Structures are given as structure tokens and as C-alpha cells.
């Protein structure tokens, strides 16, 4: 969920990089000239990525000019959709699902690790400015609960120890592997199959 107000320490100016501007021009060609506003969500998404993970006043101004929209209209979109952050989130933005299936499978422990290793309060940058965390509602990976999303990746089948290891690895600049952290393929059951165990039933397809 986005923090509700645009941060005050906005950069003075924002502009798409040259390749992103090329991309933006191509998107605009898909719409009539008086319907440029239709691009606001994908443009905000790309601007957020190029602006270090959040939308600030400079981004809103830039897109309001580009799309012929009042700044308040752009801001309304930013404040409505939880995919947009309005304050710095750091290089590693951790979203912890705490909805019922994840909660039943131990999301409280995952939150505890985030509090210990990132910051006591959600939506707060870590001391080194590289991390932040927040609680979110179901991210649609309940069969692999508990789980978190870090930037664009899901990390599933977590426990306290594994979560701590992932954060430590990121802090040391190491690569981490997304997906199930307990080696299962997608959301297959752990261990032997308990149903559809006869390949003849489904033509043997993987």
C-alpha cells in the first residue's frame, strides 16, 4: 500500500531515459491525441522504476505535462493504486503478505525478521537506506505461504531462518533465487504426489 502523501524531498526534475522515452512515444501512438491519459498507469509504473522505486512530485509534473493531464489527476491515480509508492522504499522493497493463509503459516515470524533486520516500523527505510518493508494483503501465492515479494520477485515457502538468510544475502550484495525456498516446483505438494499420480490420466504431460 502506498504511503499516502507525495514525499516532500522530491527531486527537482524527472525525465524518462532516452530508451524509455522512445518506448513512451510508441505507446502514445496507439491512442488518439486526445486520449493520451490512457497511458498514465504504464507510464507511472515505468517512471517509478526509473525514479528509484517511488513516485514523487517531479514524476507527477513530468507525466502531467506529457499526458496533458492536471497534476491532481495524475496524483489521484498514484494515491488510488497500491502499486505506486510515494516515498523512497530503498533498493530492496519487501512486501510481506499477512493475509490469513500466510498468517496461519507463520507470517508473524516473517514480519518479526523484517522488524529486526530492516526497521522496527513498516514503511521506514533501514539505516543504510537500502531496505524497507510493509505488510500487504494476499499476493495470490497462498499455496506457497508464507511468502514475500521483494521488488518484482516472489519468495515462497519461507520460515524465519530462510527469510533472515535472504535479507542477509541481499545486504551483502549477493544474488538470491526467487520462488519456493524449499525446493518444490511451483505449488506442487511436498513429497510424493497424492493425486493424478497415474500419468495415463493426463496424457503424461509435464
- CB nearer to ligand FES: pick between 89 and 139: 139
The reply to whether 109 sits near ligand FES by the rule CB under 6 A is no
Nearer to ligand FES, 90 or 146 (CB): 146
CB 11 → ligand FES: shortest distance, Å?
34
Distance CA 57, CA 14 (A): 9
Output 97 or 122, the one with its CB closest to ligand FES.
Answer: 97
Interaction residues for ligand FES, span 145-204 (CB under 6 A): 145, 147
Residue 40 or 97: the one with the smaller Cβ distance to ligand FES is 97
DSSP-based three-state secondary structure for 171: helix
Other Cβ atoms less than 10 A from the Cβ of 92: the count is: 19
Instruction: Give the residue, chosen from 53, 101, 106, 178, that forms a contact with ligand FES under the rule CB under 6 A.
Output: 101
17 or 187: CB nearest ligand FES: 187
Contacts of 92 (CB under 8 A, 6+ apart): 130, 131, 132, 150, 151, 167, 170
Q: What are phi and psi of 149, to 5 degrees?
A: -110, 125
Nearest to 20 by CA among 5, 36, 42, 53: 42
Interface residue with ligand FES, options 97, 114, 134, 164 (CB under 6 A) = 97
Compute the chain's Rg from CA coordinates. Answer: 20
What number of other Cβ atoms are within 10 A of residue 33's Cβ?
7
The Cα–Cα gap between 134 and 97 comes to 9
Size of the site for ligand FES (CB under 6 A): 11
Between 95 and 132, name the residue whose CB sits nearer to ligand FES: 95
Closest approach of Cβ 73 to ligand FES, in Å?
A: 32
- The sheet carrying 131-136 orders its strands as 131-136, 92-97, 148-150, 153-156, 179-180
Candidates 138, 162, 171, 176; binder of ligand FES (CB under 6 A) is: 138
Smallest distance from the beta carbon of 156 to ligand FES, in angstroms?
A: 8
Residue 99 makes contact with ligand FES by CB under 6 A: yes
Q: Give the binding site for ligand FES (CB under 6 A).
A: 97, 99, 101-102, 138-142, 145, 147
Amino acid at each position: 500500500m502506498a504511503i499516502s502523501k507525495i514525499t516532500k524531498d522530491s527531486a527537482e526534475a524527472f525525465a524518462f531515459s532516452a530508451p524509455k522515452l522512445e518506448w513512451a512515444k510508441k505507446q502514445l501512438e496507439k491512442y488518439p491525441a486526445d486520449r493520451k491519459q490512457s497511458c498514465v498507469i504504464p507510464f507511472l509504473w515505468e517512471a517509478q522504476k526509473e525514479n528509484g522505486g517511488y513516485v514523487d512530485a517531479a514524476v507527477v509534473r513530468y507525466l502531467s505535462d506529457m499526458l496533458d493531464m492536471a497534476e491532481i489527476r495524475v496524483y489521484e491515480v498514484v494515491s488510488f493504486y497500491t502499486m505506486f509508492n510515494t516515498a523512497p522504499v530503498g533498493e530492496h522493497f519487501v512486501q510481506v503478505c499477512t493475509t490469513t493463509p500466510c498468517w496461519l503459516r507463520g507470517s508473524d515470524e516473517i514480519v518479526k525478521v523484517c522488524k529486526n533486520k530492516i526497521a522496527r516500523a513498516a514503511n521506514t527505510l533501514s539505516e543504510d537506506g537500502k531496505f524497507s518493508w510493509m505488510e500487504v494483503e494476499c499476493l495470490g501465492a497462498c499455496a506457497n505461504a508464507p511468502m514475500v515479494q521483494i521488488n518484482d520477485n516472489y519468495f515462497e515457502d519461507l520460515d524465519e531462518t530462510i527469510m533472515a538468510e535472504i535479507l542477509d544475502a541481499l545486504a551483502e550484495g549477493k544474488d538470491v533465487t526467487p520462488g519456493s525456498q524449499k525446493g518444490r516446483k511451483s505449488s506442487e505438494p511436498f513429497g510424493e504426489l497424492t493425486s493424478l499420480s497415474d500419468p495415463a490420466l493426463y496424457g503424461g504431460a509435464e
